[in-house]
Structure 1
C-alpha cells in the first residue's frame, strides 16, 4: 500500500472497529487485521493507538466544522446562527459513526491535550471570525471563541448525544426548530 492509502485504510478501519465494538475494540492488532496494514506501518504513520485516535478525532472534528462553514454568509445573524445548528445536526445524522466517535473520544480522555486547543482554535477560526464581525456590528452578544463549541452549541450537543443513543426513538427532525432557536437565544444581543 502507498503511504496515503495505508493511512486512509487505517482511518477507515478505525471507524469501522469503533462502530462495531466501541473504542475499547480499537487495538493496533485489530487495526492491522481490518485495514490490511502491518503493525509497523500503523506505528510509522500514527506512532501509537492514541495517534490513530487523535488523527481520527482531528479529521472528524474538521469535517464537522467544515459542514457548518457554508452557512457563514451575509444573511442576518438571526438566520445564520440557527442554520449553523441545523447543519451540525445534519452532519450527525449523515455521519453517526464519526459523530459518536467525536463524543466518545472527547469524554474518554483519549485525545492528547497537547495541541488540542490550538487545533480546535485553528479549525474554528472561520466561525470565530464570523462571530467576531457580527458581534462588532451589534448582531450578537460577545462570546469568547472557546464558548462557541462548549456553550453556544450545548443544546446541539445534548440533542446529538440523545439521537446517537437512540436514533429510532429520538426524533431529531421534530425538535430541530427548538434546538436552532435555543442556540440563537444564547447569542442574540
Structure 2
C-alpha cells in the first residue's frame, strides 16, 4: 500500500470512528456533516471522497460492525463440535459482543439499521457472504445429519436468532428486566428445543 493509500485508509478509519462516536452521543439525527467533520478533524471533501455522503458513511459503519458481529458468531460456530454446543456459543458470543461494544450494538439494532436492512437486504447479504457462509453451512450440515429438525434455513435462523436479538434489544434499550447472565443461561436450552428434531 502506497503512503497515499495509507493516508486515505487512515482518513476513512477516522471518519468511521467519528461517526460511531457522534451516533452514540447524539443519535441518528445528530449525525451531520458538521458534527462528523468536527469530531474527526477531516474535511468535508474527504468525507465525500471516501463515502459519497453521510448516508454512505453510515452504511459503511453499519457494514463494519455487522461484519465484526458475524465474524464472532461464525468463529464460534466453526469451533463448536455439536449443533447444541454451537447454539450455546452463538448465544454467549452475541451477548458478549453487545456488552463489549454497546455503542456499535445500538447502531446494529437501531431503526436506521432496520431501514437499511429492509431496503438493501440483498446487498447487505452479498457484502457479508464470507461471514454468513459458515453459519449457512452449519445449518445445512446439521440439518442433513438430522441433528437439527428438517426446517428451511430461514426458519432455523429465526428460531435461533430471534430470542437472542430480542434480548439484546431489551438490554440495549436499558429495560431493567433484561438480565444477560440469565439469558446466557436460559436461552441456549430453549432455543435448542425449538430446532432439535
TM-score (norm 1): 0.89
Unaligned runs of 5+ in 2: 1-5
Kept in 2, the 8 Å contact 1:162–1:170? The answer is: yes
1:14-50 deviations in whole A, cap 9, x for unaligned?
A: 1101111111111122111100111110011001111
* Corresponding residue number in structure 2 for 1:176: 184
Higher helix share goes to which structure? 2
Alpha-carbon distance change, 84 to 106 in structure 1, aligned in 2, over 3 angstroms: same
- Give the whole-Å Cα distance in 2 for the aligned partners of 1:147 and 1:49: 35
Match of 1:82 among 76, 84, 88: 88
What residue in structure 1 maps to residue 15 of structure 2? 10
For structure 1, the 5+ residue unaligned runs are none
Q: Distance in 2 between matches of 1:23 and 1:129?
A: 35
Deviation, 1:186, is 2.7
Distance 1:123 1:66 in 2: 6
Name the CA shift for 1:74/1:89 in 2 (closer, same or farther; >3 Å). Answer: closer
Match of 1:137 among 127, 141, 145: 145
Aligned Cα root-mean-square deviation (Å): 2.1
Task: Determine the structure 2 residue equivalent to 1:123.
Answer: 131
C-alpha deviation, 1:184, in angstroms: 1.7
- What TM-score do you get using the length of structure 2 for normalisation? 0.86
In 2: Cα distance, 1:76 partner to 1:4 partner: 40
